[in-house]
A and B are shown apart, each in its own frame.
Chain A
Amino acid sequence: MIFPKAVDGAFRRFKWVVMIVTLAIYYITPWLRWDRGPYAPDQAVLIDLANRRFYMFAIEIWPHEFYYVAGLLVMAAIGLFFVTSAVGRAWCGYACPQTVWTDLFQHVERWIDGDRNAQIRLQRAPWSLGKIARRVAKHSVWIAIGVLTGGAWIFYFADAPTLAPALFSGEAPMVAYSTVALLTATTYVLGGLMREQVCQFMCPWPRIQAAMMDEQSLTVTYKEWRGEPRSHGLKRAQADAADGPDPLRIGDCIDCNACVAVCPTGIDIRGGPQIGCITCGLCIDACDDAMLRVGREPKLIGYSTQADDDAARAGKPSVAPLRRMLRPRTLIYLGSWSAIGAVMLFALETRSHLDISVTQTRNPQWVQLSDGSIRNTYTVKIRNMETRPRRVEIAIDGEPALLWDERGSRETAGRAVQLAIDPDQVTKTQLFVAAPGDGPQHSDLRFTVRALDGDHASASDDSRFERPEETQ
């Protein structure tokens, strides 16, 4: 069990800001509205699993466009690579949900149990009424946070203002309650009970991260060349020095252990870079405080790159941070990230909101009609991605054939059929195509759907017309 000490400083304050902003985004987003007209939900961000739509502000993604989501995931990954190669594990230290919620849970713990020393004392103390009361209080608040976390999550999947009252009156669907229960449990366990163990043992990211970082990546570093030998052991050091010829050099580290006490993962950064360090910067705050008290220069522990640290050790000036960040590696990440983003934006802007897909009926492939002509049957799906009903026309190119749909008949057949299609829906219809019986066994047939109302949107799909091998 780790009992990190409370600390104040620039990074701690920054963490507060990040925590408030990220939590606010998480809790508020489902409540943002976005007017999409009468045929689509008005929630700005909505993952509508039942109807298989994903809404994000002006963007609406259909299941067949899942590549946009895949693209976003790829962008997220490359973005993470970029951030990591530039500023190290900034994600881990500040924005990772595990970090944010753990931080929240630790504040609750301090608020109820007191700071580090009080917590340790309480942990060692035998069970008493007071200890039980504190434990019950702490775990209750933790679980309450878990409920709120899970509760906010489900609003992303349904209309929030409708779901919220239903949730309280017990009318929400079972899956809503079970999701809340599941997320309550995971939040409580991961944020309250497992904490740093998630970062150290469960999360694969630290391992991958090692490959993303190089000597130019920012990371929390203890300036060993400046700190050692630690002055806490000064007397012994002096005694040792009396035997040797070298003048004694006293390091800046006063061995106050503050950096270890505040560390949420319980590591000693003076041992060098290690996998447990999430670069939260709290040890920097703690050490700066110590340095201030003993009147020495701050940033004995600080954000630095391996290269800069080496340079400083050798007494050379460090490189400007921006130059350090913009090196081939980060530029390649940034470039591919922007390229994917640009391609997706372009595709999103130019995508058609009208789509047709044609499947030929294979059983039977063709039907002979009484006048000797041949009929083929096609199942046609029209996707109307606009949130309004539309009138469209489906026409064929290729065969000298006649076309009618399930409402029509041979007598009313023509070169095109018109139909009304539902908003934001896939409309399925059956089309019959009849052509003279003498002709090639296969010929190409193209179906084109055109909007008759306004924007001239159109889309095509190719199929075939089949005839018997020999006409009887």
Chain B
Amino acid sequence: MAERSRIDDKTGTPTVGHEWDGIEELDTPMPRWWLWTLYASIVFAIGYVIAYPAIPMLNSATKGVLGWSSQGELDRDIAGEQKRRAPIMTALAATPLDQLAANPKLLAAAEEGGRSVFKVHCAACHGAGAAGSKGYPNLNDDDWLWGGDMAAIEQTLIHGIRHPGDVQTRISQMPAFGRDGILQPAEIDDLVSFVRVRSGQDQPSAAAARGGALYTNNCAACHGEEGRGNRTLGAPNLTDSIWLFGGDRGSLTTTLINGRGGIMPAWEKQLDPVTIKMLAAYVHSLGGGEASPAPTRVAAAPQRVAAKQ
């Protein structure tokens, strides 16, 4: 192994001096452009480290002289988005709920905003499509315990149902007729028969007739003589085909024995009034919303004249 560098005849380039089995390595210098790229990268890296957060320290990384942070960028993005939405938010804040329908554009914006808020806060209980499930009302249908116009929906959203700590929350209580010993099991059975007949699920029977008397004494105060419910008390209509906790014999018996009472949070503390307004508009738009003052749609006045901006 010759360890001396020499000039290679063919290329005129010095060799590195090693030789293995007659094979030598040329000491070709690195291409200049490559070196300059490397140097430029080093300079850039130094500048970058100074300008941006880069070096990890004990608690946080160095701040960088530009003061940039991903959090700051996010804040800026959010601020920008809020600024973009500001006009519609202000308009929403200024528009009373019952006037919303008169302004289709604003209503559409509210419904759209409500849709996304719903996904975040409400879908966990009511489902992404607001179809509910046993114990959680379906918001698409036309059956409302507490009223289905926009104002009633908003009220429910603000104060919740049986929400502890909110004095204005909607409260109703179905007694636990069985557990508290108000009615005997046989009487409960008769009442169930009666309710099943009232709701058109069973044919009249002797048991139902016996249940009728019990109903008048125990239930009519809340659910009404006819069983059509009472919205001021949040008492469900027992004659329709929608059952929050089920309308079969077993479910009805459980209801009568234990009573029922779901809880819906009061959103007042967590959501601002405009957001609640948007939610009310969205829930109202699902198809079961009841008319407040009739919405009149303003004649379409499209102003899209392309390319003249």
Binding site for B on A (CB under 8 A): 38-41, 43, 46, 48, 50-51, 53, 157-159, 162, 361-364, 367-372, 375, 377, 389, 406-407, 409-410, 420-425, 427, 430, 432, 437, 472
Q: Is the CB of A363 within 8 A of B129?
A: yes
11 contacts between A and B (CB under 8 A): A39-B305, A40-B305, A41-B308, A48-B306, A369-B141, A370-B142, A389-B300, A407-B295, A422-B300, A422-B304, A430-B287
A369 to B288, CA, bound (A): 9
Most central of A39, A43, A367, A369 by chain B CB within 10 Å: A367
Contact of A51 among B127, B241, B299, B304 (CB under 8 A): B304
> In the complex, given contacts A51-B304, A162-B307, A370-B242, what are 17 additional A-B residue pairs having Cβ atoms less than 8 angstroms apart?
A40-B305, A41-B305, A50-B306, A53-B306, A159-B307, A363-B127, A363-B128, A367-B131, A367-B138, A367-B140, A369-B141, A370-B141, A372-B200, A377-B140, A410-B142, A424-B302, A424-B304
CA separation between A119 and B285, bound complex, in Å?
77
Chain A residues lying within 8 Å of B124, measured Cβ to Cβ, are: none
In angstroms, how far is the closest chain B Cβ from the Cβ of A248? 52
> Which of chain B's residues 203-240 have a Cβ closer than 8 Å to chain A?
237, 240
Digit string of B276-306 for contact with A (CB within 8 Å is 1, else 0)? 0000000001011011000101011010111
A369 adjacent to B142 (CB under 8 Å): yes
Cβ contact within 8 Å between A406 and B285: yes
Q: How many A-B residue pairs have CB under 8 A?
A: 99
Q: Is the interface of A mostly helix, strand, loop or mixed?
A: loop
Q: Are B297 and A407 in contact (CB under 8 A)?
A: yes
The reply on B143 being an interface residue by CB < 8 A is: yes
Q: Which residues of A contact B300 (CB under 8 A)?
A: 389, 420-422, 427
Q: Which residue of A lies closest to B107 (CB)?
A: A406
Task: State in angstroms the CA–CA spacing of A370 and B309 once bound together.
Answer: 51
CB neighbours (8 Å) of A472 from chain B are 241, 243, 247
A31 to chain B, nearest CB (A): 14
Contacts A407-B297, A422-B302, A425-B302 given; does A368 touch B241 at CB 8 Å: yes
Return chain B residues, CB-CB under 8 Å to A377: 140, 287
Q: Is the CB of A371 within 8 A of B140?
A: no
A389→B304 CA distance, assembly (Å)? 12
Q: How far is the CB of A416 from chain B (nearest CB, A)?
A: 17
List the A side residues contacting B130 at CB < 8 Å: 364
Shortest CB–CB separation between residue A424 and chain B, in angstroms?
7
Q: Which residues of B contact A363 (CB under 8 A)?
A: 127-129, 131
A157 and B307 CA atoms in complex are apart in Å by: 8
Residues in B with CB closer than 8 Å to A367 are 131, 138, 140-141, 287-288
Contact B307 A43 (CB under 8 A): yes
| Chain A residues whose C-beta falls within 8 Å of the C-beta of B141 in the assembled complex | 367-370, 375
Shortest Cβ distance from residue A216 to the other chain B in the assembled complex, whole angstroms: 47
- Complex: A51 Cα to B307 Cα, angstroms: 8
Q: Of residues B138, B247, B306, which shows the largest number of chain A Cβ atoms within 10 Å of its Cβ?
A: B306
Nearest neighbor of A437 in chain B, beta-carbon distance: B241
Which 3 pairs between the two chains have the least Cβ-Cβ distance?
A363-B129, A370-B240, A364-B131
Write out the residue numbers on chain A whose beta carbons fall within 8 Å of the beta carbon of B242.
368-370
Give the chain B neighbours of A162 by CB distance below 8 A: 307-309
Chain A residues whose CB sits within 8 angstroms of the CB of B299 once the complex forms: 420
Separation in Å of the A157 CB from the closest CB of chain B? Answer: 8
- Bound complex: CA of A439 vs CA of B301, how far in Å? 42
Give the Cβ gap from A388 to chain B, nearest Cβ, in Å: 10
| A37 CA to B287 CA, complexed, in Å | 38
Q: Which partner residue on chain A sits nearest B299 by CB separation?
A: A420
Expressed in whole angstroms, the Cα–Cα distance for A52 and B143 within the complex equals 43
| B217 nearest CB across to chain A (Å) | 26
Determine which of A41, A43, A409, A427 lies in contact with B291 in the assembled complex, contact meaning CB atoms within 8 Å. A409
* Across-interface contacts of B287 in A (CB, < 8 A): 367, 375, 377, 430, 432
Q: Which of B285, B295, B306 contacts A41 (CB 8 A)?
A: B306
Beta-carbon contact of A39 and B302 below 8 Å: yes
Q: Which of A158, A389, A407, A424 contacts B307 (CB 8 A)?
A: A158
- Specify the chain A residue showing the minimal Cβ separation from B128: A363
Closest-CB distance, A50 to chain B (whole angstroms):
7
Distance between B151 CB and nearest chain A CB, rounded to angstroms: 16
Q: Of B127, B302, B307, which is in contact with the most chain A CB atoms at under 10 Å from its CB?
A: B307
Q: Nearest Cβ in chain B — how far from A472, in angstroms?
A: 7
B241 to chain A, nearest CB (A): 4
Report B-chain residues with C-beta under 8 Å of the C-beta of A157.
307
Q: In the bound complex, do residue A48 and residue B131 qualify as a contact, i.e. CB atoms below 8 Å apart? A: no
Q: How far is the CB of B32 from chain A (nearest CB, A)?
A: 25
